[in-house]
Amino acid sequence: MYQEVLQTESVVAKKTHISVKGLNVHIGSQHILKDISIDIPDKKVTSIIGPSGCGKTTLLKTFNRLLDNSSDVKITGKVLVDGENIYDPNIEVTRIRKKMGLLSQRPYPLPMSVYENVAYGPRIHGTRKKALLDALVERQLRATGLWEEVKDRLNAPATRLSIGQQQRLCLARGLAVNPEIILGDESTSALDPVSTRIIEDLFMKLKEKYSIVLVTHILRQAARISDYIIFVYMGKIIEAGPAEQILQDPKEELTRQYVKGYIT
């Protein structure tokens, strides 16, 4: 009991997980992100909204250094994760990435069985014992509500699952490495309404344990699940704040126009 209280307090006392300071991203000759500074609140669902091509996915990808692999990218400024600048040249990239689970637009299951998909992350980070892996796989499949659906075909190729199940499997795969943050890049855009709903419900449940950052172009989705909204336009953060305020009573004219559907 006492320990729990202590832990909770330490989490509250800790600064925000992701804190961006003066971030600029150039790809080739294009200035994609301009002077981004923002704190992402802990254990909340934060949505990044904005018209397509505004830089929201790029912003999300700077959080786990996925832009590293693209050519011709220049990044300046800081992204602090747990107080540590992840663009520090001495940092170990794999450790930073492990802190964040990524859920992409479409599910991309690894070319392995259902079981191996979830076990892959823990395995590369050194978990070898079968019993431990078994328990871990079951826990994450239960956490994503897949266990009952797939427990009899854990050894079947992951590609046999329906696309909605695959996306939940990808989520379970990400959770298996114990991340602190979940990044979602329009994670429901390829899914049917029922699967979308399941994923959204999962996000609502998971925010008790994880900080969640989502990129979405669906305003209604942002309204349904976000606690906090960041509006990005032409590579700049126009406005950020609690979801209700941004959607109901935005301070900036551009935000108001976007929320009303004048800018797309």
Partner 1 sequence: MRRRKFEELFFRGLMLLATVIISGSLFLIVGTIFYKGAPYMNLDMITKTPGGGFYIGKAGGILNAIIGSLYIAGGATVSGLLISVPVAIFINMYINGKTFLANTLRMAYDVLFGIPSIVYGAFGFLIMVYFGLRASLLGGIIAVTLLVIPILVRTLDEVIRTVPSELGDATLSLGATRWETAKVILRQVRPGIFTALLLSFGRAIGDVASVLFTAGFSDNIPASLHEPAASLPLAIFFQLSSPVAEVQGRGYASALVLTIIVLFITILSEICIRKFYKQKA
185 and 104 Cβ atoms separated by less than 8 Å? yes
Tell me the sheet residues that pair with 124: none
Q: Which is nearer to partner 1, 56 or 224 (CB)?
A: 56
139 belongs to the binding site for partner 1 (CB under 8 A): no
Among 14, 95, 160, 260, binds partner 1 (CB under 8 A): 95
Residues 6+ apart with CB under 8 A from 2: none
106 belongs to the binding site for partner 1 (CB under 8 A): yes
207 belongs to the binding site for partner 1 (CB under 8 A): no
Strands 45-49 and 228-233: parallel
125 belongs to the binding site for partner 1 (CB under 8 A): yes
97 belongs to the binding site for partner 1 (CB under 8 A): yes
101 and 185 Cβ atoms separated by less than 8 Å? no
170 belongs to the binding site for partner 1 (CB under 8 A): yes
Which of helix, strand or coil describes residue 154? coil
Q: How far is the CB of 146 from partner 1 (least distance, A)?
A: 17
Q: Which is nearer to partner 1, 214 or 229 (CB)?
A: 214
Among 124, 132, 135, 156, binds partner 1 (CB under 8 A): 124
Of 179, 166, 236, 188, give the one whose Cα is nearest residue 25: 236
Among 56, 98, 168, 224, binds partner 1 (CB under 8 A): 98
112 belongs to the binding site for partner 1 (CB under 8 A): yes
Distance CA 73, CA 133 (A): 38
Among 7, 76, 94, 162, binds partner 1 (CB under 8 A): 94
Site string for partner 1, 37-76 (x = CB under 8 A): ---------------------------x-x--xxx-----
Among the listed ranges 24-32, 48-56, 170-178, 247-255, the one in contact with partner 1 (CB under 8 A) is 170-178
End-to-end CA distance of the chain: 50
Among 50, 174, 184, 235, binds partner 1 (CB under 8 A): 174
| Region of residue 110 (phi > 0: left; psi between -120 and 50: alpha; otherwise: beta) | beta
170 and 146 Cβ atoms separated by less than 8 Å? no
Backbone phi, psi, residue 210, to 5° = -125, 155
Among 108, 156, 249, 251, binds partner 1 (CB under 8 A): 108
Q: In what order do the strands lie in the sheet with 30-40?
A: 30-40, 18-27, 73-81, 84-85
100 belongs to the binding site for partner 1 (CB under 8 A): yes
Distance of CA 224 to CAs 54, 139, 218, Å? 22, 27, 10
Q: Which is nearer to partner 1, 114 or 259 (CB)?
A: 114
Which of helix, strand or coil describes residue 56? helix
Q: Which residues bind partner 1 (CB under 8 A)?
A: 64, 66, 69-71, 94-95, 97-98, 100-102, 104-106, 108, 110-112, 120-121, 124-125, 170, 173-174, 176-177, 183
